[in-house]
Amino acid sequence: MTPTNFLEWSDCDLPVTDGSYHVIWDTAADGVEIFSKSASVVAELKYRPVTEANADYMIVDLSGGASATGYPVKYVRGVDPKTFNRNVYKTTKLVLKRVTAATFMMGDASDNNSKPVHEVTLTKDFFLGLFELTRYQYSQVISSYTTKTMFPLTGITWNTLATGSTGFFALLSAKSQYKGAPVPAFDFPTDAQWERACRADTTTTYFWGAGTADLGLYTWYENNGWLSAVGLKLPNPFGFYDITGNVFEMCKDWMNPYTADPATDPVADTAAPGVEAKSTRGGSYRWAINTFAKSGVRRGEKPGGWASYGGDYVGVRVSARSITPAPVCPLRRRPRRKPRRLPLCSTRVRTPCAS
Q: Is residue 329 part of a domain?
A: no
Q: What is the pLDDT of residue 13?
A: 66
306: Cβ–Cβ under 8 A, 6 or more apart, which residues?
155, 157, 314
Strands 298-301 and 319-321: unpaired
Residue 303 placed within a domain:
yes
Residue 154 near residue 313, CB atoms below 8 Å: yes
pLDDT of residue 46: 62
For residue 340, give the nearest of 35, 37, 22 by alpha carbon. Answer: 22
pLDDT (tens digit, 0 to 9) for every residue of the chain, 355 residues total?
A: 555 544 544 455 665 566 776 767 777 776 777 777 677 767 666 656 788 888 999 999 999 999 999 999 999 998 899 999 999 999 999 999 999 999 999 999 999 999 999 999 999 999 999 999 999 999 999 999 999 999 999 999 999 999 989 999 999 999 999 998 889 899 999 999 999 999 999 999 999 999 888 888 999 998 887 999 999 999 999 999 999 999 999 999 999 999 999 999 999 999 999 999 999 999 999 987 677 889 999 999 999 987 677 789 999 999 998 765 544 433 334 444 444 444 444 333 343 344 3
Q: Three-class SS of residue 332?
A: coil
Q: Examine residue 13 and state whether it is found in any structural domain, yes or no.
A: no
Q: Can you give the pLDDT at residue 24? A: 72
Q: How many CB atoms lie within 10 A of CB 22?
A: 8
CB-based contact 152:79 (threshold 8 Å)? no
Instruction: Provide the residue type at 304 as one letter.
Output: G
In a domain? residue 43: no
pLDDT attached to residue 125:
96
Residue range(s) defining the domain that contains residue 202: 57-321
Q: For residue 14, what pLDDT is reported? A: 61
Q: What is the pLDDT of residue 16?
A: 58
CA–CA separation, 130 vs 60, rounded Å? 12
Residue 73, strand partner residues: 60
Number of domains in the chain: 1
- Residue 345 placed within a domain: no
Which pLDDT does position 123 carry in this prediction? 97
Whether residue 83 contacts residue 8, with contact meaning beta carbons closer than 8 Å, is answered with no
Let me know if residue 39 belongs to a domain: no
Predicted confidence at residue 325, as pLDDT, reads 52
CATH number of the domain residue 91 falls in: 3.90.1580.10
Give the pLDDT of residue 324.
Answer: 58
Q: What is the mean pLDDT of the chain?
A: 86
Q: Rounded to whole angstroms, how far apart are CA atoms 207 and 238?
A: 10
Q: Is 352 inside a domain boundary?
A: no
What's residue 348's pLDDT? Answer: 39
Q: What pLDDT is recorded for position 311?
A: 86
Euclidean distance between CA atoms 95 and 61, whole angstroms: 9
Is 98 among the domain residues?
A: yes
